[in-house]
Amino acid sequence: DRGFLAQWSLACGSRYTSIKGEIHSPDYPNQYADNLDECYDITAPVGKAVRLEFAEVDTEAGVDFIRIHDGDSEAGDLLAELSGQSAGEVFVSTLSNLYVVFQSNTGGTGKGFIAYYSQLCGNRFAGPSGQVTSPGYPGNYPNNADECYLIEVADDKRILLAFDVFDTEADYDYLEVYDGASEAAPLIQTLSGSDATYVSLYSNGNSLYLRFVSDSSFRYDGFSATYTEI
């Protein structure tokens, strides 16, 4: 009788899914405890990335560590290992998760850490011109899509966004266009149906943020637009 081999892992109990927020060591800014093994799973929607900036790190150098992984577990690529005193480190995920582990030993401690996270658009466009399309274009876009697009040009320029194709399920599948770098910027227009073909929109600054949403029923061609800095 050879018995059996079992493997298991403990899921992270601290999961963060809001557009922006903070993570910190237990009891920050007071001293953290010995023998900690804490995890922080920061998750953005599919199509977005996570940005994490450490405002302060204060741990027992070379003994207590903060490890940042690119993914939703410790199996993800290790981006960095922080220990001692520092500030200002910034990390961006390649997909939609960052996973942070904080471990302390028995001995000296410190204040720990505090870091601020935010969601970034995964579809980023830079340069003087380019094309932006719905997922799957020129085929039909998928059901239940929620995609974002961030267009950025030179600091002293504006953006002209011109649609040559626009075909969605009217009133249910739509594209929001914001005058800035996120959904916090002013909404320029919400486009739906087929009336937006040959529509042109202009930014007031050097960035536009687009969000495309579809529901669970019909699928259409979607959209194709060209952006140009002006």
Q: What is the CATH number of the domain that holds 133?
A: 2.60.120.290
Looking at the fold, whether 140 and 68 belong to one and the same domain comes out as no
Residue labelled with tokens 């899914």: 17
Cβ proximity of 101 and 74 under 8 Å: yes
46-79 tens-digit pLDDT? 778 899 999 999 999 999 999 999 999 999 999 9
- Looking at 90, 121, 152, the residue that finishes a domain is 121
Q: Pull the structure tokens for residue 128.
A: 């003087």
85-119 tens-digit pLDDT? 999 999 988 889 999 999 999 988 899 999 999 88
Indicate if the pLDDT at residue 3 is higher than 70.
no
Looking at the fold, whether 211 and 131 belong to one and the same domain comes out as yes
Residues 6+ apart with CB under 8 A from 159: 151, 153, 202, 203, 206, 207, 208, 227, 228, 229, 230
Looking at the fold, whether 175 and 109 belong to one and the same domain comes out as no
State the pLDDT at residue 216: 94
Confidence bin at 81 (pLDDT 50/70/90): very high
State the pLDDT at residue 72: 94
State the pLDDT at residue 179: 97
State the pLDDT at residue 35: 95
Segments forming the whole domain that contains residue 79: 15-121
Instruction: List, as one string, the DSSP characters of 51-92.
Output: EEEEEEEE--TTTSEEEEEESSSTTSEEEEEE-SEE---EEE
State the pLDDT at residue 226: 97
Residue 94, domain member (yes or no): yes
Looking at the fold, whether 200 and 225 belong to one and the same domain comes out as yes
Q: Domain total for the chain?
A: 2
- Looking at 85, 102, 121, the residue that finishes a domain is 121
Looking at the fold, whether 70 and 87 belong to one and the same domain comes out as yes
Looking at the fold, whether 132 and 204 belong to one and the same domain comes out as yes
State the pLDDT at residue 7: 40
Looking at the fold, whether 136 and 113 belong to one and the same domain comes out as no
Looking at the fold, whether 193 and 151 belong to one and the same domain comes out as yes
State the pLDDT at residue 19: 84
- Select the more confidently predicted residue: 96 or 13: 96
Residue 23, domain member (yes or no): yes
131-179 tens-digit pLDDT? 999 999 999 999 998 888 999 999 999 999 999 999 999 999 999 999 9
Looking at the fold, whether 111 and 175 belong to one and the same domain comes out as no
- Looking at 104, 121, 138, the residue that finishes a domain is 121
Residue 5, domain member (yes or no): no
Looking at the fold, whether 106 and 130 belong to one and the same domain comes out as no
Residue 7, domain member (yes or no): no
Looking at the fold, whether 61 and 145 belong to one and the same domain comes out as no
169-226 tens-digit pLDDT? 999 999 999 999 888 789 999 999 997 788 999 999 999 999 999 999 999 999 999 9
Residue 52, domain member (yes or no): yes
Looking at the fold, whether 225 and 137 belong to one and the same domain comes out as yes
Confidence bin at 5 (pLDDT 50/70/90): very low
Residue 9, domain member (yes or no): no
Residue 8, domain member (yes or no): no
Peptide bond into 142 cis (omega under 30): no
Residue 76, domain member (yes or no): yes
Strand partners, 133: 224
State the pLDDT at residue 11: 59
- pTM (predicted TM-score): 0.62
